[in-house]
Structure 1
Amino acid sequence: MPFEDIKFTIKTFHKHGLTKEAALWLLKIYQIEHPNFAGFEFREAAKPDFILMTTEGEIGNPQIIRIPENTFEFPLILMLNLLAHEMMHVKQKSKEIALQDKNEREWQAYYEMLFHKEFPLVPIATVYHQKFFAEKAMIYYNRSEKEANPLRLKYEAQKKEIEELIVKLE
């Protein structure tokens, strides 16, 4: 489906107050569903400079994603990337993966927002947002211990990819 048609459909959902339905529809269209996903719930309204989505639930149990009721008042490509970020957390918190380390979960989710390896249909964000995602990824990478940390070794190649992307985006 062409992106302009998707945007029109989302605007129609939004106009009728069907935010959760719009988000569920996007999960299908962009193939970012996961069996560990338990549904959407609402959180406080987002502001242009602060849009918060969270994944909630005990690791190993189904997860809900809290989204702002006004999610679709913001650029759709950004919202798709934020949804993909949260769906990475849904996957990471499944029984099969049960990834305990928050820094590693965030690192993987921000990496996904830049390179879309898990969810290849999600469009690339603006240069501004890619820089932001890259900075956030590096914050989580740098939180891991410096001396012979297995996480640093595990993600060394991805770190180089992000560093190269940052240079390219300048």
Structure 2
Amino acid sequence: MTKGWKRAFLLCGALLLLVLVNVPLAANAQEAQGAVGIKAGQYAPDFELVDHQGNKHKLSEFRGQPVLLNFWASWCTPCRLEMEDLADSAKHYQGKVQFFGVNLADQDSPSVSAAFLKKFGVEFPNVLDEEGKVSDQYHVLVIPTSFLIDKDGKIVQMVQGPLFNEEIDKLFKKVLN
């Protein structure tokens, strides 16, 4: 074997070794990230944000009734797909379950998100997470992400991805007697 081939062979071997060592480390990091965060049975962290009109809303103001907390953005295609069903379900379950939306306003413009809500007939409260602190607090990695919270403020379930009427009905059976 020539000197050039030996060098290339050693370099390829070193790169392969580097990959083999780092792949398990990356997998463990992802598992650790998944293990960190809000879990069912924990109390939902309280927060206070403003809506499009500047009114302050706290999650804790809905204590005493189940809450569907939904993180979304107007540019998110799955969010667009679910929003009409969320608006319809919010009307259907009015007085039984409180819907509460959190717009990732650090990635969205307030005027665009307000128009988005109007387009889909959304009447339930929506607040602006302009600095992304609440989505970070809830460890929201994808949107839409929804949290079903019971009347005592405990997380019942987290759902990543869009929710449609049928899934919403099944989900609410867990908190409605």
| TM-score, with structure 2 as normaliser | 0.22
Structure 1 or 2: more strand by fraction: 2
Q: Larger Cα Rg: Structure 1 or Structure 2?
A: 2
Structure 1 or 2: more helix by fraction: 1
